[in-house]
Amino acid sequence: MKFSDYNIAPEVKQNLETMGFKRPTDIQYKAIPHILKGEDVLAIAQTGTGKTAAFAIPIISQLHVRKTSSRSLGIRCVVMVPTRELAVQIAEAFQELARHTKVRIYAVTGGVEQDPQIARLEKGFDILVATPGRVFDLVHQGHLRLDRVEMLVLDEADHMLALGFLNDIRDLIRHLPKQRQTLFFSATIDETIKKLAYSLVRNPIRIQISPSNPVNTNISHAIAFMEMDDKRFFLERLIKENAEAKLLVFIRTKVRAERVMLAMERVGIETMTIHGDKEQQDRQQAMRSFRNGTVKVLIATDISARGIDVPNVDYVVNYDMPEQPENYVHRIGRTGRGDKKGKAVSFCAPEEEKLLREIEAYIGDPIESIIFSDDERQITRALSPESKIDLKALMKEVAEFEETAGKKKGKVKKKK
């Protein structure tokens, strides 16, 4: 079946053709007809399956063809997502699909000043893409009305719950009309997610896309075994050997992300970081620079794994092994998008091998291993300018200096 065969607005069909979309993916094929009928949908589908278009296409088509009254009366569709980056990207996808239609879209997220957002909302929009926290604030302050909402979408619902948005979501539901269409999308499902889903949907059509291999076949992925202290040397080597490639590097914590960025800077490699402690404008700048290729290496934490949809990412590097097996799939799914090929490599230290076993059990297959000889490890270290710096000696010197300074300060106090 082709998109041209669907009963969707001609303007949307034209946009799909312009974007080069001819045939739907599995999730789009199964979801779009039911959404067009106005039915509630509960869909379980992994990242990279095309689920944004699965709900965006029918929503835009329906809102475009329906008779509309003044936008000042309120938002007609709310799409809730877990992260700021995902909100921006989904809004952009909606805008592209809504060209030449009467549908207007706006994204609001936390981390930035409210006043400009409030001013924009007063102009009126059909579709609001937002993170739950900011919507919660705007509703309770009286700046946002949800009583006219016809459609509610919860995207990446499992990630929203993991980030602690459950109470915000439940509170916001009280402000929505009971008669509405609800679309619930999640990459995974457990009892908590199932309980939330069935409290929101009515007689839903359940769709589950479960490929035999959760890893996209466009991605070649491997595990490189090394000591934890050697990871920075092998990352440097990978970047320098692929100077024109775009690399997305995943780190376990915000602090480690900043440390790895500094380590790369010391050897002359420009990188940027994106994580929860960064200001929203800095996160947006990092995404722009990575997207347009100004910066070739972006270092991210897991909070961003589902919010980064950048074309032509050549490599995903798991600098730290993910602690949740499903996050492995989400991370490496940032490469090999669409019909593109991608590569992923994970740096596994001895203390992380338990995590590797859990990942292999989750995906159902062993991951190809890369074993470095002692000679190759030594050569990799020796090639780095960083190896000329004796970091242990430097840290010892700093510690001794601080201890001496502390003793001197104590003596001065005693004399007084």
User: pLDDT tens digit string along 106-162?
Assistant: 999 887 888 889 988 888 899 999 998 888 889 989 888 898 999 999 998 888 887
Contact 221, 194 (CB under 8 A): no
Domain spanning 3-208, CATH architecture: 3-Layer(aba) Sandwich (3.40)
Q: Please count the CA atoms within 13 angstroms of the CA of 185 that sit on its side-chain side.
A: 27
Within 192-246, strands assigned E span 205-208, 219-225
CATH of domain 219-383: 3.40.50.300
Q: Do domains 3-208 and 219-383 have the same CATH topology?
A: yes
> Strand 272-274 relative to strand 205-208: parallel, antiparallel, unpaired?
unpaired
Whether the Cβ atoms of residue 189 and residue 97 lie closer than 8 Å to each other: no
CA angle 71, 72, 75 (to 5 degrees): 60
More confident residue, 306 or 373: 373
Domain layout of the chain by residue ranges? 3-208, 219-383
Question: For the chain, what is the mean pLDDT?
Answer: 86
pLDDT at 413 over 50: no
389 pLDDT more than 60: no
pLDDT tens digits for range 296-345: 999 998 876 565 678 889 999 999 999 988 889 888 988 887 678 899 99
Q: Which residues pair with 318 in a beta bridge?
A: 250, 346
User: Once rounded to an integer, what is the mean pLDDT over residues 24-51?
Assistant: 90
Q: What is the pTM (predicted TM-score) of this model?
A: 0.73
Helix H or strand E encompassing 17: helix 10-18
Question: d(Cα 298, Cα 316) in Å, to the nearest integer?
Answer: 10
| 187-211 exposure pattern, b = at least 16 Cβ within 10 A, e = fewer | bebeeebeebbeebbeebbebebee
DSSP 320-360: S--SSHHHHHHHHTTSS-TT--EEEEEEE-GGGHHHHHHHH
Q: Are 236 and 73 in contact (CB under 8 A)?
A: no
Q: State which H helix or E strand residue 397 sits in.
A: helix 391-415
